[in-house]
Amino acid sequence: MSETPAASKSRGPLALMLLLTALGATLLLTSVGRTWAEGVVAGTDGGRIAVHASGSTLTGLPTGMALVAMAAAVAVFAVRGRARMLVGALTALAGVGAVAGAVIGRTDTAGLHAAAAGQLGLTSGHAEQITRTGWPWVALAGGLLLVVAGALTVCFGRNWPAMGSRYEAPTRSRPAGKTPAGANSPADLWKALDRGEDPTG
């Protein structure tokens, strides 16, 4: 049986949503493992020690929001109607949270100071000559992709297939008083027994 035009047309936004979610989450998870800020700190011997902080050190938002978005992409197939729109809104909010995390991580210096203290084995430290890398912008781009993925779900999700819908076997009603072909009525079974035949054979 061929797909209806509406079902075929809905596949495009669905595939795009999945692609954007996967790409956005990948950008977020990749970027937080890279260096976001670098600097130097004065060592106890008077020397200068280079320090750096990764995105996960500066903020935990991008990682958490990426996981939320991936879970929401799976949940899209398990729900329908308004629940699917709520899942789309959750994905969009996760994208907003990831963008906020990227902005916070790009401007934060406390994490780099903490990294400097840890490298020196002290309770506190102060990094100087701080520079930023381009990885926070990668995280920001990933967050924006999640926002678009969530918007697609809200706008087009009502027409997307749900999990298991293609595997539901159609049921056919049988007119009352009729039995499937080849089946015997109780009266026929009794008659066979009276004749000494095995009705199950």
Domains and CATH numbers, the chain: 5-166 (1.20.140)
CA distance 69 to 62: 10
Per-residue pLDDT tens, the chain, 201 aa: give them.
445 555 555 678 889 999 999 999 999 999 999 999 998 887 666 678 888 889 998 899 999 999 999 999 999 988 888 899 999 999 999 999 999 999 999 988 888 888 777 777 666 677 788 889 999 999 999 999 999 999 999 999 888 877 654 444 444 544 544 444 444 555 665 566 667 665 555
Listing DSSP states for the chain in one string gives -PPPHHHHHHHHHHHHHHHHHHHHHHHHHHHTTSEEEEEEEE-TTS-EEEEEEEHHHH-SHHHHHHHHHHHHHHHTTT--THHHHHHHHHHHHHHHHHHHHHHHHHH--HHHHHHHHHHHTSS----EEEEE-SHHHHHHHHHHHHHHHHHHHHHHGGGSPPTTGGGPPPP----TT---TTPPPHHHHHHHHHTT--TT-
What's residue 178's pLDDT? 47
What's residue 145's pLDDT?
98
